[in-house]
Each structure stands twice: as C-alpha cells, then as structure tokens.
C-alpha cells in the first residue's frame, strides 16, 4: 500500500499546473504581506508590558488623560504615532468592555422573562448567557498583524487551497478512464480496492501538504514581527470576533482554526475524488468540482440580506474550510428541544458523511462500465 500511495502521490505532483498555480499564489501572498508591512510598522503598535492585561476603569481613566488625541493632523513622529495607537487600543478595549456588559445584561434580561424552563428557548438563552458570562474583560490590544494571521484562511487561504485541490485531484480517477487504464486496473487481483485506497491516501496527504505550506507561508512573517503578547489575548479582541461566545485565546483559536480548515479541506478533497470517480470527462470533473466549491460563495454574494444568509450557506463545506464563520457569533440549532452549537453540528454532519463519501468512491469506480 505504501508503494501504491507513493505512486499516486507522484502522479498528483507530476502535474505542472500545480506548480504554476502554487508559484502564482505564493507570489500573490508575498505581495499582500509586503504591502501590509509597508502600511504598518508593527513596532509602533506594541503594547508596553505594564499594560498587557485586561482593561479596568482605573487604567482607562488614568492613562487616557495622558494621551493626546490631537495628533491626527500633520506629520507624526514615531513617538506621537505610538501615543495615538495606545489611545486607540485603550479606547477600543473600553468600548468592547461596554458592549460586552450590555450584551450580557440583555441576554440575562431575556432569560429572566422566560417562565417555562423546559423549552428550547430557555435552554438556548441560558446557554448563551453562560457562554458570554465566561468571556473575560477585553485586553488592551492592537489587532494589527494579528488580524492578518487570524483572517488569512478565511480569505485567500481558503481560495488558494481549494483551487489547488481541484487542480490536483479532480482528474485523479477520470484520467484512468480517459486512458483506458481502468480496465487493466480492474482486471488485477487487488485493483478494485487497493488502487482507490491509495488514491484516497494520496489525496489526503496532498491536501495536508498544501494547507501547511500556505498556513506557514502567510503566518510566519507576521508571527516573527510581533512580540509574544497576543497568544493569550481573548479572540474577542479581534474586530471580526467581537460577538463570538467562544472562550478561546488568539493562540488557541489559530490551532482550532487550522484544524477545522484542514478537516474541511480533506473532506472537500474526498468529494472532488468522488466526482472524479463518477465522471469520464476530465473537463466535466473539473467543472463539477469547481461548482461544488464556488456555488455557495456565489449564493452568499448575491443573496446576502440584513446579515442573514440562507441555510444552504450555513451548512456549506465552504464555511468549514473558511473556519471563521463558525466562530464569529452565537448560533445554535434546535435538536430534539436542545440547542446544539453551530460549529459542532455542521462539523459533525460532515464527519458522519465521510464514510458515505468513501463508500461511493469505491462503488462508482468498481461499478463503472469499462469501455
């Protein structure tokens, strides 16, 4: 099996289009990183050691009065820029703290109005309050740099990895049909099973490799330029996650984010492999695989109304590959009268579907009529 898997992995990496796309995407990533470092001097956003802690009224009142807001006009010295950035960090922390208190009080007020404690509404509101009540006070923190690290997978990372999966895997089995190798493979003793198993292993290994390449390439430059302050800061200090109920630090979220992204990418690669097993035409396989990935994005783009998207978007594989949409807000679903958190439900559904996807890959290849 090791030899077969190595052979199938070699077939994937023999495709020149993969290297062209990989080179192009790394160049685009380099440009984004370069532009970011040109815009921001991250040293000017550093927080002094004595202020690397949660906001308090005392810190806000005593420190804020010593920082001059009047630096917004004219050319600023580095010292003045640091003062402005410090003011913004303290002010943002205070505003986030006020918003958190208002949100918690609103949820508690709603909870107290529900008299029937056996309903889904009560259980859901109680869970929401318990989660928000555990969130610590916002830290004095500048998100510049950390935002780029946290948000990369949600944007370009998802795009690059999915395109490379389609380029590398969408013709993995279809190419055997087009060259009539499937008849030879099926006539061999172990061709119907071990052949497909090797392709599955190779697809998973390929997906892991490209996911690691992009995650490392787009994170390491920022992590090297930032000090250690940030790993232990609650994820709610990043603007996109202000309303997140999950008790995660930025460091913990980065690990969870990558694991969820990787799981979604692997599941997507298996779906692409299934499409390849169904289609005899390589162009059809590429088109269908691309549609499975792109259709939810198109629907989301053109049906976005009042911050609500259709259920098909909530349960699309694209959201798992992005990872961020799963953790931004409090969202649950009613399962037998009990609230189940959105990320747990959607990830669980796709994990349950994996055995079915694998079975169908074997089934369609085994029963595909040999021409």
At 45-72, the pLDDT tens digits run: 777 777 777 877 666 555 555 554 444 4
Do 207 and 265 meet the contact criterion of CB atoms below 8 Å apart? yes
At residue 6, does pLDDT exceed 50?
yes
Q: What is the rounded end-to-end Cα distance, in angstroms, of the chain? A: 27
350-354 contacts at long range (C-beta below 8 A, 24 or more positions apart): 350/263, 350/264, 350/267, 350/317, 350/320, 351/263, 351/267, 353/267, 354/267, 354/270
Task: Write the DSSP symbol of residue 62.
Answer: H
Q: What is the pLDDT of residue 126?
A: 92
At 311-359, the pLDDT tens digits run: 667 788 888 999 999 999 999 999 988 999 999 999 999 989 999 999 9
Q: What is the pTM of this model?
A: 0.86
Q: What is the mean pLDDT of the chain?
A: 82
At residue 97, does pLDDT exceed 90?
no
At residue 183, does pLDDT exceed 90?
no
More confident residue, 167 or 229: 167
CA distances from 158 to 8, 23, 265 (A): 24, 16, 8
pLDDT band for 300, please (50, 70, 90 cuts). confident
Q: How far apart are CA 24 and CA 38, in angstroms?
A: 21
């Amino acid at each position: 099996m090791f030899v077969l898997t190595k052979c199938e992995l070699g077939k994937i990496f023999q495709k020149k289009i993969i290297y062209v796309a990989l080179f192009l995407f790394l160049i685009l990533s380099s440009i984004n990183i370069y532009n970011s470092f040109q815009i921001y001097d991250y040293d000017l956003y550093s927080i002094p050691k004595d202020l690397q802690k949660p906001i308090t009224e005392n810190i806000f009142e005593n420190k804020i009065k010593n920082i001059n807001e009047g630096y917004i006009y004219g050319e600023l010295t580095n010292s003045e820029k640091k003062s402005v950035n410090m003011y913004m960090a303290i002010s943002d922390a205070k505003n986030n703290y006020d918003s958190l208190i208002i949100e918690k009080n609103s949820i508690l007020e709603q909870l107290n109005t529900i008299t029937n404690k056996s309903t889904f509404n009560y259980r859901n509101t109680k869970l929401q309050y318990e989660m928000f009540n555990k969130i610590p006070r916002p830290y004095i923190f500048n998100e510049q740099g950390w935002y780029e690290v946290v948000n990369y997978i949600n944007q370009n990372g998802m795009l690059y990895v999915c395109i490379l999966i389609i380029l590398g895997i969408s013709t993995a089995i279809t190419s055997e049909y087009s060259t009539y190798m499937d008849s030879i493979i099926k006539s061999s003793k172990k061709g119907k099973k071990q052949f497909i198993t090797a392709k599955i292993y190779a697809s998973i290994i390929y997906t892991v490799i490209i996911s690691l390449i992009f995650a490392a390439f787009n994170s390491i430059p920022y992590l090297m330029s930032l000090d250690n302050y940030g790993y232990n800061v609650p994820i709610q200090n990043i603007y996109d996650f202000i309303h997140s109920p999950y008790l995660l630090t930025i460091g913990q979220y980065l690990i969870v984010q990558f694991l969820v992204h990787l799981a979604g990418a692997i599941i997507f690669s298996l779906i692409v492999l299934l499409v390849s097993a169904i289609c005899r035409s390589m162009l059809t396989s590429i088109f269908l695989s691309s549609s499975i990935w792109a259709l939810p994005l198109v629907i989301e783009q053109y049906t976005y109304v009042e911050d609500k998207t259709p259920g098909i978007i909530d349960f699309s594989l694209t959201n798992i590959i992005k990872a961020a949409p799963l953790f931004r807000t409090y969202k649950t679903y009613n399962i037998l009268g009990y609230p189940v958190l959105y990320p747990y439900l959607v990830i669980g559904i796709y994990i349950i579907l994996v055995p079915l996807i694998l079975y169908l890959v074997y089934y369609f290849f085994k029963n595909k009529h040999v021409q």
